[in-house]
Amino acid sequence: MTEEILLQAVTRTETGTRPCRRMRRSGQLPAVCYRESGESQSLALQERAVQRMLRSHASENMVLQLSIDESGPIQAFLKDVQHEPLGEGLVHVDLQEISANQKLRVAIPVHLTGEPAGAVEGGVLEHLHGQIEVECLPADIVDMFEVDVSALNIGDSLSIADVPMDKSKYDLLDDPEIAIAHVSAPRTEEEEMAEEEEALEGEEGEAGEEGAEGEAGEGEEPSEG
- What CATH code is assigned to 5-99? 2.40.240.10
**CATH top class, domain 105-184:** mainly beta
pLDDT-derived band at 223 (thresholds 50, 70, 90) equals very low
Closest CA to 63 of 111, 97, 105, 37: 97
Identity (one letter) of the amino acid at 181?
A
Q: How many CB atoms lie within 10 A of CB 177?
A: 8
Q: What is the pLDDT of residues 175-217, one digit of tens each?
A: 999 999 999 998 776 666 767 777 777 666 665 555 555 555 5
Closest CA to 163 of 176, 150, 151: 176
Q: What is the pLDDT of residues 132-169, one digit of tens each?
A: 999 999 999 998 999 999 999 999 999 999 999 999 99
| Parallel/antiparallel/unpaired status of strands 90-97 and 28-34 | parallel
Helices and strands, counts by H and E, the chain: 3, 13
List the chain domain ranges. Answer: 5-99, 105-184
